Amino acid sequence: MNTTQTDPRAAKAYAVAYLRDVNVGPAIVDYLQRIDASMAPFGGRFLVHGGALTPLEGAWDGDLVVLEFPDVEAARRWYDSPAYRAILPLRTENSHSIACVVQGVAEGYRATDKLAELAV
C-alpha cells in the first residue's frame, strides 16, 4: 500500500469553501482585508478565490474558495487561531456557506493508489 497519500506530513491540505448569497458590505470588506494576515503564520495562500466558474455537472449558484496549507495540522491551526476566529463571524453572518479542510495527495499519487486503501 502506498501510505504517502494518507500521511498528513506528505501532502498539502486545502481549506475549501462554497459561498452563496454573499452580502458584500462593510463586514465582508473587513474580512477580506484581514484574512491574508490570519493565514500567513500558517503558510496559507489562496489558490481559488471566486474566479470564473464553468459548471460541468449540477447547479452552481455560488463562489468557490480554495486555500492551500502545508498540511492538515497547519490548516486546522489557522482555522482555530484567534486571528481567524475573530473574523470568521464576518463571513458566516454575511453569507450562506459550507467549508471543510481536506488532505491532498502526495506528489506522484495515481487514482489506482486508492484501490489499496479500499482493499479492493
Residue-wise pLDDT for 73-101, tens only, equals: 999 999 999 999 999 999 999 999 999 99
Please give the single-letter amino acid code of residue 91. R
Q: Does domain 3-113 have CATH number 2.60.40.10?
A: no
Over 50: is that where the pLDDT of 45 sits? yes
Distance, C-alpha 88 to centroid of its chain? 14
Mean pLDDT of 21-30: 97
Over 50: is that where the pLDDT of 32 sits? yes
Over 50: is that where the pLDDT of 113 sits? yes
Over 70: is that where the pLDDT of 4 sits? no
Cell 484581514 identifies what position? 34
Q: What whole-number distance in Å separates Cα of residue 30 and Cα of residue 52?
A: 23
pLDDT at 8: 46
Domain range list for the chain: 3-113
Residue 20 vs residues 2, 64, 86, 92, 95: alpha-carbon distances, Å:
38, 9, 21, 11, 6
Query: What's the pLDDT band for 27 if we cut at 50, 70, 90?
Result: very high
How does pLDDT run across 55-79, given as a tens digit for each residue?
Answer: 999 999 999 999 999 999 999 999 9
Q: Name the pTM for this structure.
A: 0.86
Q: What whole-number distance in Å separates Cα of residue 10 and Cα of residue 12?
A: 7
Q: What whole-number distance in Å separates Cα of residue 96 and Cα of residue 19?
A: 6
Query: What's the pLDDT band for 10 if we cut at 50, 70, 90?
Result: low
